[in-house]
Every structure is written in structure tokens, then in C-alpha cells.
Amino acid sequence: MQSEQCVETAARRDTILVVDDVELNRVILSEAFREGYRLLEAENGRQALDLVLAEPDRICAILLDVVMPVMDGFAFLEEMRARDLLARIPVFLITADSSESNMRRGYDLGAVDIIGKPVLPYFVRRRVESVVELYRAREQLGRRVEQQAEEIQQLGQSIIESLATAIEFRSGESGEHVRRISALTTWMLEELRACGYPGCNFTDEQISQIATASILHDVGKIAVPDQVLNKPGRLTAEEFELMKIHTVRGCELLEQIPQYHSNPLFRYAYDICRHHHERVDGRGYPDGLKGEELSIWSQVVALADVYDALTNKRVYKPAFTHEKAMEMIRTGQCGQFQPALVDALAQGLEHHARGPETN
């Protein structure tokens, strides 16, 4: 289906734009492409630029005169280059001045070919069509590569979610926990960005990467014994030490991934795995970090994890209401968090509970 969409997109480029201030020249060139193409004509570069900007995805080639009033061919090429359109639309200079300086300037400005006047329609069509087919093939290939990259990214996301969900099943949880953590992380980061919180000028892509990385926050629980992971009562000191190792074990697992060192997603995941049980007062684990030593994304995921644990049933506790959970978080019953992060959590939950805003 996606391949068909690529072909359809490439096929939409069916228009030849002929630009010349002499009507007879436009007629001769247009006649060469009458069969099989939609045709547009312009008397100068300004008119031509307006036509291109109106239909940038439909024009497959431009036949361009050099000497014209209002805007000549070279000025038109400069405008096309400034708008980064020459990589998508080939421009052929059609000129009677085939001097070396003219040809050099035309090629330097981005023309793909220079054809001398008077033109021979058959040969012009053959030269133009060969380049048009090349551009179409390149565009189609580029779109296929983009789609394949997107499919690979989606596959990677699915694998990450499946791994995290399998670990959740060990502790009697469904895969919804990791999905909720991802959503809460996204909402909080968006709220922090919107209010201008220091260090939170994330791009949408970075927020997406952090949200995906949050899914792996408890991947190290694969190393925790079942009797500890699923104990319904309070853990002993020894059992708690066993539970705490999941932060370090998760990092060790991530380090085995070949792309770890070069992929920002896995760098986020490493930090989150190791530090999502740290607290700003330094009373967390495993490293006892505090304050500004903690990354904003690890703090956000830590808060999301605590909120989700409070508001959903676990083997060791019932589910609390949203109001009770927020009270426990604000009063420090579940560790210390930055007040701005707690506010972002509350605002994010409120916005998404309210649904899309209407004007």
C-alpha cells in the first residue's frame, strides 16, 4: 500500500512550465510536450515563480528563457535556489546566448541543462524527459526510504513495548503501566516546555524519544527474583536491596545494545533506568543524587512512575484516587519532587482529562 502511495505521489508531477517572453517560443516548446503533459506558460520569471509556488508538487520540469522583463532567468534560478526547490524540480535554460560565461552562470545557479535556440522539439523532449524520469525515480526512492525508516522506528517501538510488557507480566501487571508512564512523561514535558521551565526547551522529537525511553525504566526487574517482585507485603531490608539492583541491571542490559552509544533514545533510557528512583533530597538510589545532579527527564519519569503506582492496584496496595495520590506526592509521603514537576503533572492530567480545547 505504501509503495503504491509513493508511485501515486511521483505520478502527480505531470506539468511542464514554459517560461519565455516571446509567445512564439512558448508555442513551439509547448507543442513538443502537448502529448502526455499538462502545460503552464509564463511571460517572465516573476509569473513563473508564482506558478511554481502555487503547485510545487505538480511541476516536473521548467523550460526557462534567460532574457526576459520583470525577472530574468538567472534571477528566477536564484529565487528557486533560495527556496530549496531546485532539488525537486529540474530547470532547463533555453537560450540563444550559449557563451561560456552564460553557460557557467546557468550551471552554477542550478540549471540541469542548457539548450540552445533555435530548438528542435523532438530532441528537447528527449533531453527533458530523461531528466524528468531521473528526478521522479529519485523522489520515489527517497519516499520509500523515509517510509522504511518509519517502519523500522515503529518496529523498534513495538519491540521495546513488548520487552517492557513482558517484564510487567512478571509482576502481575498489564502492559498498560508502561503506556501510562509514556503518556504521563509526554504530558509533563509538554507542560514544562510550555511554561518555560529551565532546561525544558525540548523539540517534539526529543519528547517522543524520552517518552519511548521511559517505557524501559523497569527493564532491570528481569533480574529481580519472583518472590521479591511479587511479594504482597512489606519487603525486608535484604529483599529491598535485591529490588534496588533493578536500576543497575537495567543499565547493564542497555549497554549491550550496539546502538547505545550513538542513539539518543538509549542514552535517555540509560539515565532513566538508573535514576528513576533518585529523589531531589538525595535519599533515593542507587547513586544518592540530588537537586541539579538529576536530569529533568529522569525526575519526570520518576514522578510519573510514583503517580501511576499510587493510582493503580498493586500486589502490596489498593489503588488510591487521583486526589489522594496528589496529596501524598505534595506532602512528601512518596519521596521529594520538584514542585514545578508536580504542578506539570497536575496540569497535564487536567488538560488531557478535559480533552481538546475549543475556541
Tell me the pLDDT of the chain averaged across its residues: 86
pLDDT band at 339; cut points 50, 70, 90:
very high
Distance separating alpha carbons of residues 137 and 150, to the nearest angstrom: 20
Q: Is there a contact between 111 and 128 (Cβ–Cβ < 8 Å)?
A: no
Per-residue pLDDT, 210: 95
Per-residue pLDDT, 149: 62
- Per-residue pLDDT tens for 222-240? 888 888 888 888 889 999 9
The CA distances from residue 102 to 71, 106, 111, in Å, are 16, 6, 11
Q: Is there a contact between 339 and 281 (Cβ–Cβ < 8 Å)?
A: no
C-alpha cell at 76: 528566477
Q: In degrees to the nearest 10, what's the CA dihedral of 277, 281, 287, 289?
A: 110
pLDDT band at 345; cut points 50, 70, 90:
very high
96 contact partners, CB below 8 Å, separation of at least 6: 116, 117, 118
Distance separating alpha carbons of residues 329 and 223, to the nearest angstrom: 28
- Per-residue pLDDT tens for 14-64? 999 999 999 999 999 999 999 989 999 999 999 999 999 999 999 999 999
User: Residue 36: left (phi > 0), alpha (psi -120 to 50), or beta?
Assistant: left
321 contact partners, CB below 8 Å, separation of at least 6: 311
Cα three-residue angle 75-76-81, rounded to 5 degrees: 100
Per-residue pLDDT, 170: 62
Distance separating alpha carbons of residues 169 and 96, to the nearest angstrom: 76
- Per-residue pLDDT tens for 169-222? 666 565 688 889 999 999 999 999 999 999 999 999 999 999 999 988 988 888
pLDDT band at 3; cut points 50, 70, 90:
very low
Q: Is there a contact between 88 and 138 (Cβ–Cβ < 8 Å)?
A: no
Distance separating alpha carbons of residues 90 and 83, to the nearest angstrom: 14
Q: Give the percent of the chain with pLDDT over 70.
A: 87
Per-residue pLDDT, 9: 44
Closest CA to 188 of 306, 332, 15: 306
C-alpha cell at 300: 519526570
pLDDT band at 111; cut points 50, 70, 90:
very high
Q: Give the percent of the chain with pLDDT over 90.
A: 58
Per-residue pLDDT, 5: 45
Single pTM value for the model: 0.61
Cα three-residue angle 39-41-44, rounded to 5 degrees: 155
C-alpha cell at 153: 522506528
Q: Is there a contact between 52 and 59 (Cβ–Cβ < 8 Å)?
A: yes
DSSP 94: E
Q: What is the mean pLDDT of residues 82-97?
A: 92
Per-residue pLDDT, 284: 93
Give the domain ranges of the chain: 2-143, 171-354
Per-residue pLDDT, 18: 96
Whether cis (ω within 30° of 0) applies to the bond prior to 232 is no
Whether cis (ω within 30° of 0) applies to the bond prior to 56 is no
Q: What is the DSSP string of 105-153?
A: HHHHHT-SEEEESSP-HHHHHHHHHHHHHHHHHHHHHHHHHHHHHHHHH
Residue, of 274 and 335, whose pLDDT is higher: 274
In a 3-state reduction of DSSP, which class is residue 72?
coil
- Per-residue pLDDT tens for 131-154? 999 888 888 877 877 776 666 566
Q: Is there a contact between 37 and 62 (Cβ–Cβ < 8 Å)?
A: no
Q: What is the CATH number of domain 171-354?
A: 1.10.3210.10
Q: What is the CATH number of domain 2-143?
A: 3.40.50.2300
Per-residue pLDDT, 354: 73
